[in-house]
Structure 1
Amino acid sequence: MYNLLDGLRIIEASSFVASPTAGLYCAQFGAEVIRVDQIGGGPDYHRWPVTDAKDSLYWENLNRAKKSVALDLASPKGREMLQELVRATGQFITNFPADGFLSHAKLAERRADLVTVRIMGWADGAPALDYTVNNAVGYPLITGQGPEPVNHVLPAWDLLTGAYAAFAMLAAIRKREQTGIGSEVRIPLSDVAIGTAANLGGLAEVLHNNADRPRLGNAVYGLFGRDFVTKDSVRTMIVVVTHRQWANLVAALGLRSAVEAVETQEGVSFAADDGLRFEHRRGLFPLFEKAIGALSYDQMEAKLDEAGVVHSAYRTMWEAAHNPRLVGDNPIFSACSANPSGFAYPAAGALGTIPQMERSDAKPAPRNGQHSEEILSTALGLSSGEIARLIDSGTVGIAK
């Protein structure tokens, strides 16, 4: 946690991954992010993974360092109070529909400088999820080896959209500071997905070749890279991204003569051409399979580390959780025992490190309605009596 955004208050009304991620990143850099949910929790409040008591580990990690206000959003009064919180604050992150009671136009009627960042499925307002957008842009059909499409478990477009939304919020605030003008930034998952594919050259590639990229399994497109198995059955990914790494890898494995034989046979030189190494991978891979297969993992690791070659054994997430380099000795993590679930485990704080500033520990997620009374008092100026009446009427919820 860093206080780069100290003094910035943001209302978040959201669920699932992308929109909460945007609020999380702002909170990790010091913004006061106030998540407003339905009393009892929104649709993602009990999403898996969960503890034995059905507390969501997913929810409490995507909502760390935030505050929680619980309202009856099915009631006109509850919706009106959320609108007033947004107007009073001036910054709003949401994945609620563009039309309806949280439309930017409606909210900005009494707050012209409002900044709204709205995460959407499709740009036309149709719903979408990471897993449906991903297959729409084609990645599952160039993943794996086929014939079936291969989905991945990482919600990449949700996470990219959340990060882009946090950036968009700060960009829109900067513009407002310069001009006094508010704005709504709409960020559809579909646009993030297809735009990223275009940024990586994917659209130009298929249009230029008039064909889709072949499915390569674990081989890396356009580079020398693939998984190999050591003598003691450790599967390791090796990727060469520079010409020096290529030369060092060949030397470390004692393959100079064998590689030169392939070069002579094919009439090429691999020394300074990533693409040629990729194109002739079928002639090269067996050489490396044999050399790596003759070494134990420890032997291979020592050779490749000395050579400066990038590699990593395949590990389970359980193993990663017990890896000191990734977790135990990593300063982004701190012990957190105040989680709503009651389960104590390492919690991630800000993912960036600022050497010139002291990092504070990661904060827990709130309980549903934990800060309702505080925020309604400070943001809307309601008296304790007014708040008590709203609680008694069921319009406002508090943590129990």
Structure 2
Amino acid sequence: MSKPLDGIKVLDLSWVFSAPYATLMLQDLGAEVVKVERPGAGDRSRSIPPFKESVSGYFYMLNRGKKSISLNMKSEEGKQLFLDLAKEFDVIVENFVAGTVDKLGIGYEAVKEVNPKIIYASLNGFGSEGPYSKLPCIDGIAQAMGGLMSQNGLEGGKPLKTGPAVADSLSGIYLTVGILSALLERNQTGKGQRIEVSMMDSVFSVLEETVIRTSMTGEPLMARGNKDPLGAPWEAFETSDDKWVIVCASGNDRFIKVYHGIGRDDIVKEFEGDDIPSMEKRAANLDYLNSIFADWAKNRTAEQVLRFLADLHVPAGEVKTGKDLIKDPHLLGRNMVVDVEHPVLGKVKLPNLPIKFFGREMGIRSGDKPIEPQLGEHNKEILQSLLGLDESEINSLKEKGIIYEAGLINSSR
């Protein structure tokens, strides 16, 4: 079955999470992705746990189905091989510190000379311009400097980053959007271009009302835990079966329904009023209002609390763990949790592509057996099919250390 990006070839210089997340999405949409890895070590995520028999589940998760060549681009011959390959690709993706690829002689200007139609997509911490541009960055730094950490955590507590690397994944999603937009424009103009996504920019762009609120009031929006002044009850509440339920009862009507429903008409009478005055009064007493609902919820199971709130059309949900999610009936029904088989890792579950095309399946399917590439596994295939090199030329490149194959990684498959 055809996919939207069938025929698109991506040369992927990226490593670890942010940009490999983008190229994984491109692959799930039909693109052929060829990773270019460092000789010897390869993508750093090959050394990130969990492991089974020295195979990284983390690397597998992000690189299933991609191909790998290992190329020493610090050598002149390796750099020339890269530029020769670049002629045959539609997209190049990299996520080094800004300016690194230019120093190596494989940046956009060099590639554009040999392939004017190339889409050259860069993802880095702070972009190629500005006072932070040369600073190294990983997810936690982007969350801090982009403003997320100051708003995450408990009220009055120390700043907290999120558990999952949301700066990485968010910037990867933005990079995907940029690449798809550039490909669409190239179809119209015939011209390639350079695009860039900054992790700090990406985090800053999703801070909701932070910028407008601060510019209007002069006061920064600080961490408030699970609470929100838009309504009550609004918090995570523990239930009698040791589960947690988050409730987000926005608006005056939901406030009235909830507290009337738990038998606290006295609270309704005390706080009921016109929307704006009532909202401000509730916000000023949110801890008190939450404590009343907490006392009610702790004597009921999560299922009872959620059923009560669902009947009132109040947004609420169970706080789910990873164990809950991989067997969640809704995610399973939407093909978001996929059972796959790996020759070393065995039967494992993976998250699927969340973009749904009606009438066509994207991503992976349960029962599939996608594998990740060994380091340099596709050197011969790529160099022969795209550059026309013969066996002796490829062997010569190996002997000179220009290309590298790791014969021991995943050798049992």
Q: Same fold (TM over 0.5)?
A: yes
Q: Does 1:128 align with 2:137?
A: yes
Which is bigger in relative contact order (C-alpha 8 A, separation at least 6)?
A: 1
CA contact 1:3–1:29 (8 Å) conserved in 2: yes
Give SS of 1:291's match: helix
| Pick aligned residue for 1:189 from 169, 177, 199 | 199
| Pick aligned residue for 1:155 from 145, 160, 165 | 165
Q: TM-score, normalised by structure 2?
A: 0.85
What is the CA–CA distance in structure 1 between the aligned matches of 2:342 and 2:275, rounded to whole Å?
55
* Residue equivalent to 2:397: 390
| Pick aligned residue for 2:119 from 115, 119, 123 | 115
| Pick aligned residue for 1:217 from 218, 225, 233 | 225
Q: Equivalent residues in 2 for 1:331-350 (5 A)? A: 331-338=335-342, 341-350=344-353
Q: For 2:12, give the aligned amino acid.
A: E
Structure 1: unaligned runs, 5 residues or longer: none
Q: For 2:350, give the aligned amino acid.
A: A
Q: Shift in Å at residue 38 of structure 1? A: 1.4
Q: Which moved more, 1:4-13 or 1:365-374?
A: 365-374
CA contact 1:134–1:140 (8 Å) conserved in 2: yes
* Residue equivalent to 2:385: 378
Taking every aligned residue pair, what percent have the same amino acid on both sides?
20
CA contact 1:7–1:31 (8 Å) conserved in 2: yes
CA contact 1:367–1:399 (8 Å) conserved in 2: yes
Q: TM-score, normalised by structure 1?
A: 0.88
CA contact 2:39–2:70 (8 Å) conserved in 1: yes
Q: Shift in Å at residue 149 of structure 1? A: 1.9
Q: Shift in Å at residue 135 of structure 1? A: 1.3
Do the aligned partners of residues 289 and 347 (structure 1) sit closer, same or farther apart at CA in structure 2, a change above 3 Å counting? closer
CA contact 2:146–2:201 (8 Å) conserved in 1: no
Q: Does 1:229 align with 2:238?
A: yes
Q: Shift in Å at residue 285 of structure 1? A: 1.7
Do the aligned partners of residues 246 and 48 (structure 1) sit closer, same or farther apart at CA in structure 2, a change above 3 Å counting? farther
What is the CA–CA distance in structure 2 between the aligned matches of 1:150 and 1:37, rounded to whole Å?
33
Aligned length: 392
Q: Equivalent residues in 2 for 1:228-307 (5 A)? A: 228-241=237-250, 245-246=254-255, 248-255=257-264, 257-263=265-271, 268-269=273-274, 277-307=282-312
Q: Shift in Å at residue 298 of structure 1? A: 3.0
Q: Which moved more, 1:288-297 or 1:19-28?
A: 288-297
CA contact 1:2–1:29 (8 Å) conserved in 2: no
Give SS of 2:55's match: coil
What is the CA–CA distance in structure 2 between the aligned matches of 1:68 and 1:86, rounded to whole Å?
15
RMSD, matched Cα? 2.7
